[in-house]
Chains A and B, each alone.
Chain A
């Protein structure tokens, strides 16, 4: 890990410590936590919903938004998660399923649903895998935004652009050197800097799900495997 990452509070060891720190900041901190949760987990939950037997309950956006609205402002929500010992994604899936159960009851009470569901396992054979694939994608996109913002704020725009040109546009490094009019060694520093930002942002999102740092590589490898 880089020295930058070792700085206190720069790379939280667990979601718990990070959440605690943010929540101590009051409503602003809570918004930061909620923003992270929604940014990384909303899409996977929608994918999970669409693969479930409950997908006729409504629009995935409405279901997920309703779930977040009903849970994330509760003072005790994250304390309960920590007490559960569950990974955050499992905690959210469980909570989402419970929310859907509440939605079934609500629709039945209002007589506006022909649903006769009780809560059963989702239809797809591997809803968790579908969730995890979507989770991996969301984390990559969220880490991208984080790293881009970090580079932008520190005047490292060209570092990030070079990263994009190579990793997204597929331009070989050799051509990037010409395009950016830098020496190979300067390009190497730029590549390492931008890649380091992205790497730290991505690893932080794995940590934020509740994994120990020693397990982050294993989780990344597992996600890479299921993406194939």
Chain B
């Protein structure tokens, strides 16, 4: 750590804060509870999580999900998104619903990474936080892909 780094660590606080800054910091303290992505992360963390992940991506409507090779077009992403939403909403079992959510979030990440567009009506900070949390639970190479998307809009 260089001197500048040590200065950063030793700073006694974030400096003068206006109302907006305090609000932003307070927001960081709010517990995100019962988000669908939390159940997805729990599924990924189970003993067979990686096997389940491969299966969920392998059974996706496009080979891109598993390989991340090539860039789906905007039209393809829109189609993938709609399919994922239907799966998430209507699948009979929990694993299938979570697979739908996984694909949905992959499509959102692709929109950010390939098109620079947020293909979701959710607020960008919320999507970013969701993708960030998902990225930490994913193995390579998907973790970097999702993390890159999470960081592209914030």
Residues of A within 8 A of B (CB): 1, 133, 136-137, 140-141, 143-145, 148, 151-152, 157-158, 160-161, 164, 166-168, 172-174, 176-177, 183-185, 187-189, 191-192, 195, 198-199, 202-203, 206, 216-217, 220-221, 223-224, 227-228
One of B19-27, B54-62, B79-87, B94-102 contacting the partner? B19-27
Q: A136, A151, A177, A198: which contacts B28 (Cβ < 8 A)?
A: A198
**Interface CB pairs A-B, < 8 A, 6:** A136-B26, A141-B17, A188-B132, A192-B133, A206-B29, A227-B20
Chain B interface, >50% SS class: helix
Are A141 and B14 touching (Cβ within 8 A)?
A: yes
Chain A residue with Cβ nearest B150: A188
Q: Does B78 contact A (CB under 8 A)?
A: no
Residues of B within 8 A of A (CB): 1, 5-6, 8-15, 17, 19-20, 22-31, 33, 132-133, 135-136, 138, 140, 143-148, 150-152, 154
- Specify which chain A residues have a CB less than 8 angstroms from the CB of B31 in the assembled complex: 1, 203, 216-217
The 3 closest A-B pairs by CB, nearest first: A173-B151, A184-B147, A185-B143
Q: Please measure, in the bound complex, the distance between the C-alpha atom of A140 and the C-alpha atom of B12, giving whole angstroms.
A: 12
Q: Please measure, in the bound complex, the distance between the C-alpha atom of A141 and the C-alpha atom of B14, giving whole angstroms.
A: 7
- Specify which chain A residues have a CB less than 8 angstroms from the CB of B27 in the assembled complex: 220, 224
CB B4 to nearest CB in A, in angstroms, measures: 9
Q: B9, B24, B147, B151: which contacts A152 (Cβ < 8 A)?
A: B9
Could you list 13 further interchain pairs (A-B, Cβ under 8 angstroms) beyond the known A137-B17, A198-B25? A140-B22, A173-B152, A185-B144, A188-B135, A188-B143, A188-B150, A195-B28, A199-B28, A202-B25, A203-B31, A217-B33, A224-B23, A227-B23
CB A47 to nearest CB in B, in angstroms, measures: 14
Are B5 and A157 touching (Cβ within 8 A)?
A: yes
- Specify which chain B residues have a CB less than 8 angstroms from the CB of A220 in the assembled complex: 26-27, 29-30
Are A217 and B26 touching (Cβ within 8 A)?
A: no
Which of B10, B29, B136, B143 is most buried by chain A, counting CB atoms within 10 A of its CB? B29
